Amino acid sequence: MENILQGLNASQLEAVTSTEGFIRVIAGAGSGKTRALARRFAYLVNEIGILPGNILCVTFTNKSANEMRQRIHNLTGDNDTGYISTFHSFCVSVLQEDSHALQYPKSFLVLDNSDIDSMLKIIYEERGLTLRNMTFSKARDMIEIRKLIKEPKYYLDMLNMSLDTLRQKYLTATEPSDIIFYGYLYQEKKCFGLDYNDLIKFTLYIFEQNEAVKIKWQQRLEYIMIDEFQDIDELQYKLMSVLCGYHKNLFIVGDPDQTIYTWRGANVRYLLDFDKIFPSVKTIMMMQNYRSTPQIVSVVNDLIDKNKFRIKKNLMPTIADGMKVICHHADTSEREAMWIAEQIQALHGEGTSYREITVLYRAHYITRIVEEVFLREKIPYAIYSGVQFFNRMEIKDALAYLRLIAYKDDLAFLRVVNVPKRNLGERRIKFLQEYAVKHQCSLYISLETNLDNEIFKGTKAAQFVALIENFAANYAERQISELLAAILNESGYEKMLRTEGSQERLDNLAELKQSVYEYETSCGEESTLEHYLSHIALFTNSDAADNSDKVKLMTVHSAKGLEFPYVFLCAMNEGVFPSKKTDTIQKMEEERRLAFVAMTRAQKGLYLSEAEGRNFDGSPRYPSRFLLDIEPALLNYTQKPQEGLIRETKDYLVINERYLADEENQSSLAVGQRVKHSIFGSGTVVDVDLIKAAHLVKFDNIDTPRSISFRAKLEKI
């Protein structure tokens, strides 16, 4: 085991050895914060003697939790690595241990987007809704906003209403949004399913209602550490505040300049105002950058300095000089892609492998021209974050078979009852659904009860039930990896893929088997099928590692937390990056932080590019304001925009910035507030639409309400 304190700089050492009280670490990009967190955990265990099970270390993704767990294991040599997890994953642990406090079974299901879409499909079919009423994506957003903002007490319906009462609430609803919302709550309760919002809401409710359970967890967690604190949302903040209430040992790490998830509810104020909320906070600044060359650091410092809502600070480079940041202006998008291809081939010719090069962009649609050029020039590439590993069809199917064995829930049943084909089509499924509603049972029980019914003659229904029953009888004694291999074989699923010639899908299943094996090894005796299934639903951003020699293509959001030797940031144009949807000062600052995150991924070389042309709406494409934010002397221009274009861009930016509303001032109007509009006169706010960034106002002199953008001035009266 390595010496825990060896090789730490002064601020890292202070962070690792400051153990008591409230500690805030402002850690710049590439400053070694993950290293400091892992060392601090090991310091608490090895040097102070704290039991790992009494430490909670919260990370933002499951991937980073796994990496952290591995680092800590290497430092402590202990297989017990305490609670190293995301907030959602930690809540699963609480609910599994204390679900009795809710009268919920331990076997509740954790729902991901694919499960939610399956529920929506059932609701739409039952109530005759179509995608014209609301797309699934909009329905998921609507459900989330109602749960978080409009009806934050929704969970009481799920907990206190009987299934029949909740169903009646759903069946008597008339508005599409009400039908979808109450139908979804009913579907959740029916299969004891919980989505990500529910996990935290239910945990907070237990702590609110059951003092003994709350104190148990508060006393157990002697030390709490939270990574990426700039990305924390209101519910996570509330949970954290409760958990640290006994020992009052809270250690947070974050960088306000890397807040890029406000659209998901993240609020950087929790990090910035931490010292105002908690007493006697110690703040440690970690500004030494160990990732990027001084040339890259100078550029990103200059860029982010243009944001007003931030803690003023500069990254300090520690590694040797490198090449200047290269900036390229092209006449067309095609020529921009050609230039990127040429630079990549030049790097490759000098001995750089393709896997060391990454192309970043603001949105996926940008890749079309880049891909065309790469194919033509025979540059191997892989797009990341297309279909994520655990969202792939064959992975979902395999996990549904495992869920059927453990839970026999309706969603898993509907997914695989006819995969491979068992002659159980729509007509027979409709029969099962009607029987299940009438007898208040699951679809699986409905099938099991009706095996002798004439309707199932000529089907493989009996073989399917026998298969599931056979596995359900003894699954608790078997390894999950063994179960998975056996069910995929005996169900005929793998045979079906082989018949179709779907080698890629078979490879993905092999990857899943490997990940299950690794899970078993890391969890030890905790590795029950139920434990695995409840945690696997949280792995939505895990993807199978691709280490082949290919250029990586990914969005900037996907690149958060990663680093690459050479980074190309393309399509740096107004309306692309920053996005054309940016309509407030706050959103513009977030876009600049996103550009900062993109550029700080680069270790050795950073290439910025943009192109002239027309946007989708026919307007001219201007270079991004983020390029103009950077002192020209810091950039090496291979081709510069003409002076005339730069003047036009600056004129456009002056006009655009006039239209940027101040979100903080404009979204503060509550429903019921009387307001005055410069043209429409007096009226009343009847709704606040956070997605559209608009108030719905019923004006006194107009018959119907109007949606008024946040950017329009509404005076309170």
Which residues are known catalytic residues?
33-34, 227-228, 258, 601
Q: Is the dihedral of CA 666, 672, 675, 681 positive or negative?
A: positive
The conformational region for residue 535 under phi > 0 = left, psi -120 to 50 = alpha, else beta, is alpha
The closest alpha carbon to 461, from 479, 470, 448, 474, belongs to 448
Residue 52: burial class (beta carbons within 10 Å; 0-12, 13-18, 19+): buried
Q: How far apart are CA 66 and CA 48, in angstroms?
A: 24
- Which amino acid is it at 451? L
Which candidate, 156, 272, 168, places its Cα nearest to that of 205?
156
Nearest to 57 by CA among 35, 22, 87: 87
Distance of alpha carbon 272 from alpha carbon 283, whole angstroms: 11
- Residue 269: name the closest of 254, 250, 280 by CA: 254
* Sign of the alpha-carbon dihedral angle for 237, 239, 245, 247: negative
Instruction: Reduce the DSSP state of residue 643 to 3 states and report it.
Output: helix
Crossing angle for the helix pair 234-243 and 196-209, nearest 10 degrees?
40
Angle at 555 between CA 509 and CA 604, to 5 degrees: 105
d(C-alpha 151, C-alpha 149), whole Å: 6
Pairing of strands 22-27, 282-286: parallel
Closest CA to 389 of 546, 497, 545, 544: 544
Tell me the H-state helices in 537-642.
556-559, 585-599, 625-628
Please state the separation of Cα 33 from the chain's center in Å: 20
Give the whole-angstrom CA distance, residue 708 versus residue 680: 11
Phi-psi region of 366 (alpha: psi -120 to 50; beta: other; left: phi over 0): alpha
* 322 close to 605: Cβ distance less than 8 angstroms: yes
Contact 559, 594 (CB under 8 A): no
Angle ∠(563,568,573) on CA atoms, nearest 5? 125
**Angstrom distance (rounded) from CA 406 to CA 667:** 46
State residue 474 phi and psi, 5-degree precision.
-135, 20
The DSSP code sequence of 68-126 is HHHHHHHHH--S---EEE-HHHHHHHHHHHHGGGGT--TTPEEP-HHHHHHHHHHHHHH
